Structure formats: C-alpha cells, structure tokens
Amino acid sequence: MIRFLDSLADVDPAHWDALVGDGNPFVSHAFLRGMEVHGCLRPDYGWQPRHLALYEGERLLGAVPAYLKGNSHGEFVFDFAWAHAYERAGGDYYPKLLAAAPYSPVPGPRLLAASLEHKKQLVAGLLAETGRLGLSSVHANFLEEADLPAFDERWLPRFDWQFHWHNPGYGSFDDFLGALSSKKRKNIRQERRQAEESGLTLGMTGGAELTAADWRAIHALYESTFEMKGNHAALTRPFFRHLGQSFGNDVQVATARMGDQLVAMAFFLVGGGTLYGRYWGAVVDVPGLHFELCYYRGIEYAIARGLHTFEPGAQGEHKLARGFLPTRTHSRHYLVHEGFHEAVADALRHERRAREAYGDELMEHSPYAMRSEA
C-alpha cells in the first residue's frame, strides 16, 4: 500500500534509515527531518514535503523523499526554461512533484527500497500522485545508478557532470601529488604554501568538538557567501547545530582562525565511504585559502580515513586542475502533456550531445600524469 506523508515525523527513523542502506547522509531521516523541524523547508520557499511510503501491513518496504515544489529553486537540475515555455503556452508548471534531497546536489538513493520490484512500485506511486493532483510533471534528481532501471522509457533521461575525487589507496597527500602532472603538483604546492603562510591558524574539527560560538560563526560565514551572490541562505543556524548533534564527527569543518575569530570555513559531511563538501564562507581574502579549506584539507582527511570518494559539490571546472575528475550525474523527468514531452525530449537530445562533447574535452585536460612522464 502506498501512503503519502506530509512530514517525516510519521515514520520511525530506524525504519527509514534501514532503507537508505549505503549511509548517504542527505536522505537520512535526521537530515531530512531536521530540515522540516528547523525552518529550512517552507511553502514560501517552494518546498512542501510529500514523501512516498510503501507499506506491507505496518512494515515499511520502500520510500521516496519527495516534495511538492512551487518553484525550481534549490534543485540544481535546471528546468527554468521548461517552466517558462509551459507557462507561455498557458499551462501551470507549478506545483510539480520532485524526488530529491533539498538544497543538496549530491548523487544518492532516491528510491529507497531493496528490490527493483519495490522501486518500480515507488515510481508508479509518484506517477499516480502526479495524476491525482493534476500536476504538470514529476522529477527525480541526482539519482544513483542503481535506481535508473526502475524508470521506463517514458521518463526523459538527463545527465550532467560533477567533479569527484577518487582514492585508489593513497597513503598520504604526497602520494596523491605524485600521481599528478608536474605542473599541477607545483600549482597545488604553491596554493597550499600561500594558505599556510597567511598567518591564519588552519584546522579540521569534528562536529562534536565545535562550540556554540563556533556554530554561530560557521552559520554566519555560510550566510555571507549567499549574501555576496545576492541569494537567499535557506539553511538555518538551528539546522546546522542539529547536524552537529545528529552526525557528531561525521560532520567535519575545515577552519581558518585569526586569533580567536573564525574567519573562514568549509563544511563537510561523511557517509558511505564518501566525504561530501557542502558549504563555504570567508570574511577574509587570502590567496589559496578557498582551495586549501574546500579541497586540500578534504583530500587529506579522505586519505587519512581511507574514504574512497570526495564529492566537493556542484559545478566548478577549476576542480579539474586539483585532482577532481568529471563524473556523470543522472536525473529523470516525466512530463504529462504529450506535446510538451516531445518538445523537451528533442531539446534534451541536443543537450546530451553537447554534454558528451564537453565531457570528452574535460578528459583531455586530466590533471593526472601520463605513465611516460618522469
């Protein structure tokens, strides 16, 4: 039986997390429920929880973190052009139904179920709710590859590129540098030296060790990044504290201090053998500091902990020169109106060819040394 839930308060956290399986923190009960409780998801922000749950009696067999969306903000799979075209033709694109981790362009499970049969039932449930509510569309963003077979050919496939770092078993940061071309090694050492000689005190601190004053400063730095770009910082200070309390030292924060003042930070979460870089903020302009806190401290941490992957966030070709390689991300889209579906399908065919060519071009600039290089 399919049920739709307006809050994750209606699900036992242990039952939900048992479905997540791989330890991905962004679809955990603590992360998603924390957003609901601490004011990050509000109708005026365009987010209304509409989670799908598949039950057999009282046993939870599957689930989807899902939302009715009144806009396309905070998704990172951009369909603004689709919305404008649909509304120019006289339709109402919003609300739409979205399966996603809010504000988190992080690949991971969206169809939380062990079997393909149950995943297909979840997809059918999303479609049934879309029809029942008379919505224009339903979308599933940043899907892991294991979820893809549950979507049939009527769903439009879309992909993009992120830059991820992979650990083949490095013993140290120097081992990682040794795998790079000589030019990239030199540039990274120079950037690290700039940060180290800045006079700031640099560190990496677990969430369980951060003080209340640290959390206030971390959130203020996060807000400052959005304000500088003219955007709204949707994640609240209580939500940040909640992450520290819920995840403990699976939260890591790379810090730069000037005396006792926290002047820059990069915020990370750990789960399923992966380090996830999420938020950055600074009130100082120091050469090399952004790269040191957001990338190099993360790589060092991943090597020391034996993590296999470091995902530093969406976008950013500059990550390629620092050891991060292009990795596909996947989404699926079901547009109810047949004519609109065909128009978007045609546009996506052109987009796909361009993105394939872009990926080939990126790999031509791999930072890793050829075997013949001395």
- The whole domain housing 245 covers 168-307
Within 8 A by CB and 6+ apart from 221, the residues are 262, 264, 265, 280, 281, 282, 283
CA atoms of 291 and 270, how far apart (whole Å): 19
Q: Are residues 185 and 200 in the same domain?
A: yes
Question: 306's torsion region: left (phi>0), alpha (psi -120 to 50) or beta?
Answer: left
- Does 263 have pLDDT greater than 80? yes
Percent of the chain with pLDDT over 70: 99
- Determine the pLDDT at residue 17: 96
Note whether residue 145 is domain-resident: yes
Note whether residue 316 is domain-resident: no
Q: Are residues 50 and 197 in the same domain?
A: no
- Does 374 have pLDDT greater than 70? no
Nearest to 125 by CA among 62, 60, 48: 62
Q: How much is the mean pLDDT over the chain?
A: 95
Note whether residue 313 is domain-resident: no
Q: Are residues 32 and 147 in the same domain?
A: yes
Q: Are residues 86 and 119 in the same domain?
A: yes
334 φ, ψ (degrees, to nearest 5): -115, 110
**334: β partners:** 138
Note whether residue 353 is domain-resident: yes
Q: Are residues 21 and 147 in the same domain?
A: yes
Q: Are residues 278 and 331 in the same domain?
A: no
- Dig out the tokens for 65 from the structure: 């973190």
For 309, the 3-state DSSP assignment is: strand
pLDDT tens for residues 177-225?
Answer: 999 999 999 999 999 999 999 999 999 999 999 999 999 999 999 999 8
- Does 373 have pLDDT greater than 60? no
pLDDT tens for residues 25-65?
Answer: 999 999 999 999 999 999 999 999 999 999 999 999 999 99
The answer to whether 250 and 192 have CB atoms below 8 angstroms apart is no
Q: Are residues 331 and 263 in the same domain?
A: no
Note whether residue 94 is domain-resident: yes
- Determine the pLDDT at residue 370: 67
- Determine the pLDDT at residue 21: 81
Domain count, the chain: 2
Q: Are residues 237 and 301 in the same domain?
A: yes
pLDDT tens for residues 148-185?
Answer: 999 999 999 999 999 999 999 999 999 999 999 999 99
Note whether residue 318 is domain-resident: no
**The Cα angle at residue 25 between residues 255 and 359, in degrees rounded to 5:** 80
- Does 230 have pLDDT greater than 90? no
- Determine the pLDDT at residue 314: 86
- Does 344 have pLDDT greater than 90? yes
| Strand positions, DSSP E, the chain | 2-5, 47-49, 51-56, 59-64, 66-69, 96-99, 112-113, 137-143, 156-166, 201-206, 251-258, 261-271, 274-282, 309-311, 325-335
Q: Are residues 104 and 130 in the same domain?
A: yes
Question: 98's torsion region: left (phi>0), alpha (psi -120 to 50) or beta?
Answer: beta
CATH code at position 279 = 3.40.630.30
pTM, entire model: 0.95
Question: 286's torsion region: left (phi>0), alpha (psi -120 to 50) or beta?
Answer: beta
Note whether residue 139 is domain-resident: yes
Q: Are residues 180 and 66 in the same domain?
A: no
- Does 22 have pLDDT greater than 90? no
Note whether residue 320 is domain-resident: no
CA atoms of 167 and 100, how far apart (whole Å): 27
pLDDT tens for residues 81-120?
Answer: 999 999 999 999 999 999 999 999 999 999 999 999 999 9
Terminal-to-terminal C-alpha distance of the chain: 62
pLDDT tens for residues 293-339?
Answer: 999 999 999 999 999 999 998 888 999 999 999 999 999 999 999 99
Q: Are residues 303 and 233 in the same domain?
A: yes
Q: Are residues 234 and 351 in the same domain?
A: no
